[in-house]
Amino acid sequence: MSIAVQPKIIIHGGAGSSLKSKGGVESVRQSLHKIVEEIYRLLLEGMSAPCAVVRGCQLLEDNPRFNAGTGSVLQSDGQIRMSAALMDGFSQRFSGVINVSRVKNPIELALALQSSPDRVLSDNGAANLLRELQVPDHDPLTELRLLEWIQERRGDFNKEMAGVVAERELVTESSAGRGTIGVVVLDQQGQLAVGTSTGGKGFERIGRVSDSAMPAGNYGTSHAAVSCTGIGEDIIDECLAARIVVRVTDGLTLPAAFDRSFTEAQQNQRDLGAIGIDQSGAIAWGKTSEVLLAAYHNGTEIGDTLEWDDGSLTGCV
């Protein structure tokens, strides 16, 4: 019989531009901490890592503050296309969907594909899967996202393209913009899992594929699991999630793997962030962007990275 280990969790709601208002920081913190608290309770009750990851992603996808599920940004043609992936570290099995529409929780499709011989489906294949699973039709569009798209079409929407929290004249409270959501979990059986979901970067070319549905942005084994956020093309160029996990597998500690990988990313002028957990329960995070919207439970208490600004590229507990 396996000896129960102390579960760990870290989640993110994106990375990018700064949270300038204190109200924005506290509002995001409340959202993230509430999700961490709920998932950690489920882990203590014995929930498996993959199930906990899916539940955490669902909660983040359902929060219109974040760019995934409900609240996803619109692409250049005014349509929403979402991508999500799940990786079970124990089985080392990756599954995901690319550019799926009309669904509330794309991560649920990634879960359904875990047992399929064809584990990554693009738009048409994902649409067929929706029908096969009889998933209810859902419109993830919010009024805020539509307003953003209209402003950008007019050319008067000022934003940083990678900004998770965009500053807008018409929006008084900071809310999510470009980015992803992600969840990494170590369960009581010592097993790791990771999930990542996104609405894309907004106004992109039709057919563009996000890093979230690739091992570059979402990867896990029995050694470590990592979820990335930021500019998808930068994450793909660094193959960031897989690179960090391979380095841990090859003998580096998780903090050392983050340090080396983010030093390289900064030298390459990338704009990105990542979170991760290893098999020992170490939790790490990193960013080259201004802010990383992440929160974690280290087995003792909840913490976050919202006001982490000590000049370092990475952190750990």
The mean predicted confidence, pLDDT, of the chain is 90
Pick 150 or 168 by higher pLDDT: 150
Residue type, 210: S
Q: Please report, as a single letter, which amino acid is at residue 124.
A: N
DSSP assignment of 234-295 equals: HHHHHTHHHHHHHHHHTT--HHHHHHHHHHHHHHTT--EEEEEEETT--EEEEESSSEEEEE
Structure tokens at 250: 């090859």
158: how many CB neighbours lie within 10 A of its CB?
A: 12
**Percent of the residues in the chain that have a pLDDT greater than 90, as a whole number:** 82
Residue 26 φ/ψ, nearest 5 degrees: -65, -35
Predicted confidence (pLDDT) per residue in 107-121, tens digit: 999 999 999 999 999
pLDDT at 22: 43
* β strands within 17-133, DSSP E: 82-88, 93-100, 120-121
Q: Whole-prediction pTM value?
A: 0.92
Which distant-in-sequence residues (6+ apart) come within 8 Å of 150 by Cβ? Answer: none
Q: Is 300 part of the annotated catalytic residue set?
A: no
Do 244 and 235 touch, CB atoms closer than 8 A?
no
Task: Quote the pLDDT of residue 299.
Answer: 97
Q: What type of residue sits at position 24?
A: G
Q: Is 245 within 8 Å of 251 (Cβ atoms)? A: no
- Overall average pLDDT of the 280-288 stretch: 98
Contacts of 174 (CB under 8 A, 6+ apart): 19, 20, 21, 23, 24, 25, 27, 28, 165, 167
Report residue 96 as tokens.
Answer: 């995901």
Mean pLDDT of 300-310: 94
Question: Which of the following is catalytic: 180, 198, 229, 288?
Answer: 180
pLDDT band at 16 (very low <50, low <70, confident <90, very high): confident
Written as six digits, the tokens of 138 are 């859902």
Q: What mean pLDDT is predicted for residues 1-10?
A: 83
Mean pLDDT of 229-245: 97
The pLDDT tens digits for 290-301 are 999 999 999 999
Domains and CATH numbers, the chain: 8-310 (3.60.20.30)
If pLDDT is split at 50, 70 and 90, which confidence band does 198 have?
very high
Tokens in use for 311?
A: 């000049």
Distance (Å, whole) CA 265 – CA 9:
24
Query: Per-residue pLDDT tens for 53-103?
Result: 999 999 999 999 999 999 899 999 999 999 999 999 999 999 999 999 999
Asked if residue 227 has pLDDT above 50, the reply is: yes
Cα angle 111-113-114, degrees, rounded to a multiple of 5? 70
Per-residue pLDDT reduced to its tens digit, 136-153 = 999 999 998 999 888 888
Could you tell me how many residues make up the chain? 317
Q: Which pairing describes strands 82-88 and 192-198: parallel, antiparallel, or unpaired?
A: antiparallel
